[in-house]
Chain A
Amino acid sequence: MTQQEKTVALYPAKARRRERFDRKSIAVAEKMLRRVEELSHRPQALTSFIETLSSVFVDREDAIRPEGMPTVGTYCVMVPPELIYALGAMPVKLCGGSYTAFNIGDDAAPRDACPLVKAVMGFEEIDAMPIYQNCSLMAVPVTCDCKKKLAGWLSERRPTTVLHVPANRDMDADMERFVSELYALSEQIGKATGEALTYEGLSDACRMMADAQYELSRFIDLRRRYPRLIRGVFAMAAMNAMSYTWAPTWTKQMKALNDELAALARKKQMAVKENRPRLLLTGSPVVFPNFKLPLLIEEMGGLLAGDETCMGERGLYDPPAVVDRTVDGMLRALANRATRPCTCPTFADNKRRIYRIRQLIDDYQIQGVVYHVLRGCLVYDYEYAILEEEMGKLNIPIIRVETDYNEEDVEQLRIRIEAFIELIKYGRNDP
């Protein structure tokens, strides 16, 4: 008798719920993937990323990794993947985007909690996803109230380590505290994998991630030079796939994509026509399968030319600058990278995010900004007003889109996005 059969025999209601979950969540994931695939000008090399998402969310496989490698679940970009790789494990980003899991988590979490956390809780409750089940350790940085409570909730079920993220990062004392957090984290991971932190391991891991970031940098470089080269949804799919793929594998896939895009760029074959409004997506994380917003942008005649979200380009964007080639030097570089350039609104002073978005607007020739707010995601919502004012100065139209993890608001979103795109396309925006 397998575990599942046992469960069915013992708890029929739970089994039914499980079956319902499987059916529904697989259907949503399949639908989103189909919509992605149906978009025109999909590069050949994107297939491997879509296959990764499909294997995780449709086939319910574990993360793509070498046989027997333990995984560590991470919940925010502040957990350095280098540290996890150095200790012989692989990081998987477990922030949830499933509507079905959200519905289950909704029962356990308060009404105003953010859907992302509810989805994580749902996945955890239903216990159906190998990427969640097989994690040897959960590393939860305290970036917002929901993540903090999630950490507590998780720690009752799983080996969990909480990573304290400083509210400021300008003083060296803040940094030093985060470095000691990373030492503590490395000890926790070491306990889970049975390996010790060594210089060789850490430097190999850093190089491995640097290879991945090198390919990402090539990708970004191509997009900067040819903002219409690839649809943003494809880029987001590739970045989401990274969360469940062993870094060297992802690097290879990304290299193939870059080579293909470089060839297209040489032939001047752009994905979309020049007159498509180029939009930037920023705000709360966009986690597969919750791809409704990027998909709507592309389907309604816009081009998602860039994104500033932590499951997108941001997730891998900042490289650690290892200045001091020692264990401590590398950890300092990782701590630096995890906090200082981070545009996460969890930090008290976050003016760099405005600058970052201004730079992205320049780099990708952005004409409008879509500000994604997940319901209950207060920190991102706070920063909308600041960004709106700044965009007003630059005369860049911006729209705030609040969504939840369901498909009920899709039609309303469609109308708003369409109107926003039309506005950029045909009319001058005069605030």
Chain B
Amino acid sequence: MRTAKGRIIAVCIAAALMLLAWFAADIPFYTFDEPLSRASLTSVADGEPLSFTYENDVITLHGAEGATVYGLTLSGVAEIPGGQADGFPSDSLGALAAVKPAYQADTDGDGASETVIDAAKTDMEYTQEYHATTSAFLDSRLPFEATLSERHVFTFTLNGAPLANVQIQAVLSSGETLTLLTDKSGASDALSINDIRGGVQFVYRPDNTATYRLNYRVEDNTVFSLRWLSAMMPFTLVVLVALICIILDVMLRKQLYQKNDMPESRVKITHRGDGFRLPRFGFELIRWAVMIASFVLLIWGGRLLGSALFNVELPVLACPYNLDQATSAGCYWFSHLDVLLGLPIAEILWFVGSFAVCAVLFGRMLCGFVCPLGFVQDVLHQLRQALHVEGVALNEKLYAWLRFIKWVLLVLFLGIGLVGGSFCDFCPAITLSPALAGFKTSIYFSGFVMVAVLVSGFFKRRCFCNVCPMGYLLGLPHKVSLARLKKDAVACTECGACYEACPMGIKSIFMVREGKDERRIDVTTADCIFCGECIRRCPEDGALYMTLAGKKIYTASRMQFMRDYTSRGKERSK
């Protein structure tokens, strides 16, 4: 970028990216219909307890005898006449409630009858689209109300006022009964997300003369159902478009090589010859196992583990639009600093704490081991290896361009929220994780970015990681992080295999040869994702090694190196 021409191109790229990010929300890749206009509501008087059920877009209210149905709209609470609707107006917020008139009954078994108010509430948003605002009626027509204010926090109100420091019983669909104790804002986080999937009944008894019952239900998705398939639609499209781009690229290259008299075998796709090899037990296998495990957890973890880790704001590109992941996503707050500042102090502390702990303990090791977007790129790389399709080998110049794009993205990532945009409309991660978890998330410019990520990740291993702003922030404290990469410059033959293998194009690992102690030069850089490829491809005993908290966890070995390349027979006999 030293030349004037380079500078002009750089400025143009920066401006284009900024513009695209700014208008990202106006460039839809795939949008779902407004979920509320598709859905219909039927009330049936079948004598069952008052509750909502879902069957795809058909909502049924059971036990509707004498019940009044309300819907939440932008302009307030509106009654739905007769409890029947073929669709909902565009200003509705997707929350429905039904209230039966108060009656006298003995529900607590103390022999005296009390006033019972039965109500039901449902949120359609849960698997539809993410809304930052909660759907609370706060209306006296629905006196006792539970609001899912966060994915594991309920806020209880009575006639619009928070129910502070009271006991509320929750009857789960399994029949189990829990007693919740609310805090001073009326919130309780005692229920995990898995507890409420089948519906939950809240019972509040302020005294012996009144009982409030509320059947709450979220619209839950079912993984591998038709509904899930439709949620996967945008991601499937992204993959298809990426596939077409890759095929076109390969064909184009073939033409180019034929024209320039290059050996045609360079572009020939073949599965023969030495191809995919299962990794042997060791660092590489562990990394793959951790990547697969974290991929599962960061997509379906909420279902598997419940809400145990929800407070952890993991700073990787795992999308917060997926409410089923095991942890929370720290990336959201980095890109929405304005929202972050408005959060309660406890949550800000959780965010800052999670980031500090993750960054210092692991640093960009999270990129190499945990990030689902990184995993997808690694899978693509393996696919290319299996097909032996020629990739794009980058050199210092191209890496410099990537570094420049990273800076632009970093500015966007941190800054766009402050000027009223949202990085999420631009971020590729939103297409992946919510879709796989079954959340119907409309995607805007992100879809095109994801296509670029997949195509570039196919031809250049972990290309996006080179420009990822979240990764850059994670790498900032690399000077104090516990994971370290070290080099023995004397043992090193400077063969450059590490540089060739490095998906992040870290050249210093190959070039550095002077240091205080030549046998223990610290070559950890802010870019290093600790994928261990350099060590795997290092043919010199002990020339490169990784330490975690001072302990060697992975060391280069010539014999191990050679075993990756010898005939399989020999591998077995040794």
User: A residues bordering B, Cβ < 8 Å?
Assistant: 169-173, 175-176, 183, 186-187, 196-200, 202-204, 206-207, 210-211, 213-214, 217-218, 220-221, 318-319, 321-329, 332-333, 336-337, 340-341, 343, 351-352, 355-356, 358-359, 362
Please measure, in the bound complex, the distance between the C-alpha atom of A326 and the C-alpha atom of B263, giving whole angstroms.
13
B574: nearest chain-A partner, CB-CB: A214
B160 at the interface (CB under 8 A from A): no
Question: Is B266 touching A328 in the complex (CB atoms < 8 A)?
Answer: yes
Question: Is B265 touching A340 in the complex (CB atoms < 8 A)?
Answer: no
Residue in A186, A321, A340, A351 with the greatest tally of chain B CB atoms within 10 Å: A321
Q: In the complex, which residues of chain B have a beta carbon less than 8 angstroms from the beta carbon of A197?
A: 263, 265
Interface SS of chain A: helix
Please measure, in the bound complex, the distance between the C-alpha atom of A276 and the C-alpha atom of B389, giving whole angstroms.
54
B63 at the interface (CB under 8 A from A): no
Give B486-520 interface residues, CB cut-off 8 Å to A.
Answer: 489-497, 500-501, 510-511, 513, 518
B272 at the interface (CB under 8 A from A): yes
Give B31-77 interface residues, CB cut-off 8 Å to A.
Answer: none
Question: Is B493 touching A341 in the complex (CB atoms < 8 A)?
Answer: yes
Question: Is B495 touching A325 in the complex (CB atoms < 8 A)?
Answer: no
Question: Is A200 touching B273 in the complex (CB atoms < 8 A)?
Answer: yes
Q: In the complex, which residues of chain A have a beta carbon less than 8 angstroms from the beta carbon of B562?
A: 210, 213-214, 217, 319
With beta carbons under 8 angstroms apart, the residue of B385, B390, B490, B565 that contacts A355 is B490
Question: Is B390 touching A319 in the complex (CB atoms < 8 A)?
Answer: no
With beta carbons under 8 angstroms apart, the residue of B265, B396, B492, B500 that contacts A327 is B265
B388 at the interface (CB under 8 A from A): yes
Question: Is A221 touching B559 in the complex (CB atoms < 8 A)?
Answer: yes
B563 at the interface (CB under 8 A from A): yes
Please measure, in the bound complex, the distance between the C-alpha atom of A175 and the C-alpha atom of B391, giving whole angstroms.
16
Please measure, in the bound complex, the distance between the C-alpha atom of A197 and the C-alpha atom of B263, giving whole angstroms.
7
User: B residues bordering A, Cβ < 8 Å?
Assistant: 262-266, 268, 270, 272-275, 384-385, 388-391, 393, 395-397, 489-497, 500-501, 510-511, 513, 518, 533, 537-539, 558-559, 561-563, 565-567, 570
Residue in B388, B397, B518 with the greatest tally of chain A CB atoms within 10 Å: B388
B386: nearest chain-A partner, CB-CB: A325
Please measure, in the bound complex, the distance between the C-alpha atom of A220 and the C-alpha atom of B275, giving whole angstroms.
28
The 7 closest A-B pairs by CB, nearest first: A321-B497, A172-B395, A341-B495, A210-B565, A341-B493, A200-B273, A203-B274
With beta carbons under 8 angstroms apart, the residue of A171, A172, A319 that contacts B565 is A319
Question: Is B393 touching A324 in the complex (CB atoms < 8 A)?
Answer: yes
Please measure, in the bound complex, the distance between the C-alpha atom of A329 and the C-alpha atom of B393, giving whole angstroms.
8
With beta carbons under 8 angstroms apart, the residue of A211, A323, A351, A362 that contacts B501 is A323
Closest approach, in angstroms, between the C-beta of A158 and any C-beta of chain B?
A: 24
Closest approach, in angstroms, between the C-beta of A95 and any C-beta of chain B?
A: 22
Question: Is A200 touching B272 in the complex (CB atoms < 8 A)?
Answer: yes
Question: Is A327 touching B570 in the complex (CB atoms < 8 A)?
Answer: no
Please measure, in the bound complex, the distance between the C-alpha atom of A348 and the C-alpha atom of B310, giving whole angstroms.
58
Please measure, in the bound complex, the distance between the C-alpha atom of A410 and the C-alpha atom of B388, giving whole angstroms.
55
Known: A186-B263, A196-B265, A322-B565. A214 touches B500 (CB 8 A): no
Question: Is A196 touching B511 in the complex (CB atoms < 8 A)?
Answer: no
With beta carbons under 8 angstroms apart, the residue of B390, B500, B570 that contacts A323 is B500
A171: nearest chain-B partner, CB-CB: B396
Please measure, in the bound complex, the distance between the C-alpha atom of A333 and the C-alpha atom of B561, giving whole angstroms.
14
Q: In the complex, which residues of chain B have a beta carbon less than 8 angstroms from the beta carbon of A196?
A: 263-265
Residue in A197, A318, A327, A336 with the greatest tally of chain B CB atoms within 10 Å: A327
Closest approach, in angstroms, between the C-beta of A393 and any C-beta of chain B?
A: 12
Question: Is A325 touching B265 in the complex (CB atoms < 8 A)?
Answer: no
Closest approach, in angstroms, between the C-beta of A108 and any C-beta of chain B?
A: 37
Please measure, in the bound complex, the distance between the C-alpha atom of A218 and the C-alpha atom of B270, giving whole angstroms.
33
With beta carbons under 8 angstroms apart, the residue of B274, B390, B513 that contacts A207 is B274
Closest approach, in angstroms, between the C-beta of A297 and any C-beta of chain B?
A: 25
Known: A325-B275, A326-B391, A362-B490. A351 touches B513 (CB 8 A): yes
Closest approach, in angstroms, between the C-beta of B457 and any C-beta of chain A?
A: 14
Please measure, in the bound complex, the distance between the C-alpha atom of A183 and the C-alpha atom of B397, giving whole angstroms.
23
Closest approach, in angstroms, between the C-beta of A222 and any C-beta of chain B?
A: 11
Please measure, in the bound complex, the distance between the C-alpha atom of A200 and the C-alpha atom of B274, giving whole angstroms.
7
Q: In the complex, which residues of chain B have a beta carbon less than 8 angstroms from the beta carbon of A187?
A: 263
Q: In the complex, which residues of chain A have a beta carbon less than 8 angstroms from the beta carbon of B494?
A: 340-341, 352, 355
Question: Is B390 touching A321 in the complex (CB atoms < 8 A)?
Answer: no
Question: Is A321 touching B537 in the complex (CB atoms < 8 A)?
Answer: yes
B397: nearest chain-A partner, CB-CB: A172
Known: A203-B274, A340-B495. A327 touches B566 (CB 8 A): no
Please measure, in the bound complex, the distance between the C-alpha atom of A170 and the C-alpha atom of B496, giving whole angstroms.
9
With beta carbons under 8 angstroms apart, the residue of A183, A199, A217 that contacts B268 is A199
Question: Is A204 touching B273 in the complex (CB atoms < 8 A)?
Answer: yes
Question: Is B493 touching A198 in the complex (CB atoms < 8 A)?
Answer: no
With beta carbons under 8 angstroms apart, the residue of B262, B385, B493 that contacts A325 is B385
Q: In the complex, which residues of chain B have a beta carbon less than 8 angstroms from the beta carbon of A204?
A: 273-274
A176: nearest chain-B partner, CB-CB: B395
Q: In the complex, which residues of chain A have a beta carbon less than 8 angstroms from the beta carbon of B395?
A: 172-173, 176
Question: Is A326 touching B492 in the complex (CB atoms < 8 A)?
Answer: no
Q: In the complex, which residues of chain A have a beta carbon less than 8 angstroms from the beta carbon of B490?
A: 355, 358-359, 362
Closest approach, in angstroms, between the C-beta of A331 and any C-beta of chain B?
A: 9
B262: nearest chain-A partner, CB-CB: A183
Question: Is A211 touching B393 in the complex (CB atoms < 8 A)?
Answer: no
Question: Is B495 touching A355 in the complex (CB atoms < 8 A)?
Answer: no
Please measure, in the bound complex, the distance between the C-alpha atom of A197 and the C-alpha atom of B264, giving whole angstroms.
8
Question: Is A323 touching B497 in the complex (CB atoms < 8 A)?
Answer: yes
14 contacts between A and B (CB under 8 A): A171-B396, A200-B272, A210-B567, A211-B566, A318-B495, A319-B565, A323-B500, A325-B385, A326-B389, A327-B263, A327-B390, A340-B495, A352-B513, A359-B490
Question: Is B493 touching A352 in the complex (CB atoms < 8 A)?
Answer: yes
A349: nearest chain-B partner, CB-CB: B494
Closest approach, in angstroms, between the C-beta of B416 and any C-beta of chain A?
A: 34
B511: nearest chain-A partner, CB-CB: A170
Known: A172-B395, A173-B395. A336 touches B496 (CB 8 A): yes
Known: A199-B270, A333-B500, A351-B513. A326 touches B390 (CB 8 A): yes
Closest approach, in angstroms, between the C-beta of A429 and any C-beta of chain B?
A: 22
Q: In the complex, which residues of chain A have a beta carbon less than 8 angstroms from the beta carbon of B513?
A: 351-352, 355
